[in-house]
Homo-oligomer: A and B are copies of this chain.
Amino acid sequence: MRDIIHVTVWNEYRHEKTNKKIAKLYPDGMHGTIAKYLEAQPGMAVHTATLDEPEHGLTEEALNSTDVLIWWGHMAHGEVSDSIVDRIHARVLDGMGLIVLHSAHFSKIFKKLMGTTCNLKWREIGEKERLWVVEHGHPIVDGIGEYIEIENTEMYGERFDIPQPDTLVFISWFAGGEVFRSGCCYHRGRGKVFYFRPGHETLPIYHHEDVLRVISNAVRWAAPVNGPEPLYGNVKPLEKV
């Protein structure tokens, strides 16, 4: 366990700069809103990074000092450099936690880690969502009730083309008739990955107390552990053969 968890909140930060309604909801960007909440939690040091910074704000140095990376992207997944994606991928496998939010299901880094298309159904009519907790002893639902209700949201529906999660924590119900695996935990390499569905640029979802609480819990769950660094390659026998 770390005394201080270093969190980097990454956002492509485009919608907020081009759409006034979105800018009003998130004057400092969605990353700013999330970062502000996390900064108020004990034991977290919070940084932000965005697409248009040099190296997307994710230099070797920045990533090496990040314990947990939070990722929001949507309209500009294709602009994220493959070499930076490889860098993030290597860091996750080496232990950095990764929290993938909402439309980042289609981010290069999530698809690369999952090995599948990560495709899904979607609809944008502002319907109701209810995220039901199905693993109520999991640290990610600390302080959460039986469900989280979001009055107006974009719908994501199954089939969600992901590997079966190591642990499935939330399942969403949508007014329009669909369901969705909304909170999915994975071990990948020495790192931990959490996909969390809520969040949409045109809606105040990152001001929702429960959504922020889950993100904060997920940061603690995904924080690196001082587990073994495996040796790979040719090895000598440990026993006489």
Cα–Cα distance between A116 and B89 once the two chains are bound (Å): 9
Inter-chain contacts of A177 with B (CB < 8 A): 130, 173, 237-239
A121 touches B171 (CB 8 A): no
Can you pick out 6 interface pairs between chain A and chain B where the beta carbons lie within 8 Å of each other?
A1-B142, A116-B189, A139-B225, A141-B227, A144-B228, A173-B174
- Type the 1/0 row for A155-190, where 1 means its CB is closer than 8 Å to any CB of B: 101111101101110011111111101000011111
A17 at the interface (CB under 8 A from B): no
A142 near B226: Cβ-Cβ < 8 Å = yes
- Residues of B within 8 Å of A138, CB to CB, are 187, 225, 227
B178 and A137 form a contact (CB under 8 A): no
Question: A81-120 CB contact bits vs B (8 Å, 1 = yes)?
Answer: 0000000000001010000000000000000111111011
A136 within 8 A of B: yes
CA distance A204 to B188 in the complex (A): 34
Partner of A121, one of B139, B157, B176, B233: B233
A93 with B228: CB separation less than 8 A = no
A72 within 8 A of B: no
A25 within 8 A of B: no
